[in-house]
Amino acid sequence: QQPVQSPQAVILREGEDAVINCSSSKALYSVHWYRQKHGEAPVFLMILLKGGEQKGHEKISASFNEKKQQSSLYLTASQLSYSGTYFCGTRTLARQLTFGSGTQLTVLP
């Protein structure tokens, strides 16, 4: 079953923060986050494993709430280069990675 992402779209000004959420009805083993620019391949950002860890680098980080089967991606002090569509992918022990429908992020100058 496909994870649910929210919001579907968000528009920011440079320097503003954003949060993208991903939730599943299944018990998750891991959560992936990817960013895709228009017409290009998705690029891997990070993976969060069962255990509720928070990961990140620079101004993009993520958390995984194992009890709620939810993950959130945090983008702080957004830059123009952050624009794109963000996908979460969720994996259970029984199923391969399943992607959400994406969140379109637009950062304006």
Partner 1 sequence: DGGITQSPKYLFRKEGQNVTLSCEQNLNHDAMYWYRQDPGQGLRLIYYSQIVNDFQKGDIAEGYSVSREKKESFPLTVTSAQKNPTAFYLCASTLDGDRIYGYTFGSGTRLTVV
Query: Is position 84 an interface residue for partner 1 (rule: CB under 8 A)?
Result: no
DSSP 77-98: S--GGG-EEEEEEEE-SSS--E
Strand partners, 36: 85
Q: How far is CA 30 from CA 19, 26, 43, 80, in A?
A: 19, 11, 17, 29
- Closer by beta carbon to partner 1, 16 or else 97: 97
- 84/102 with CB nearer partner 1: 102
Q: Which of 32, 35, 60, 105 binds partner 1 (CB under 8 A)?
A: 32
Nearer to partner 1 by C-beta: 42 or 84?
Answer: 42
Residue with tokens 């123009």: 80
- Taking residues 41 to 80 in sequence order and writing x for each that binds partner 1 by CB under 8 A, - otherwise, the string is xxxxxxx-x-------------------------------
Task: Report the distance separating Cα 77 and Cα 27, nearest Å.
Answer: 32
Q: Provide the binding-site residues for partner 1, judged by CB under 8 A.
A: 2, 29-30, 32, 34, 40-47, 49, 87, 89, 91, 96-102
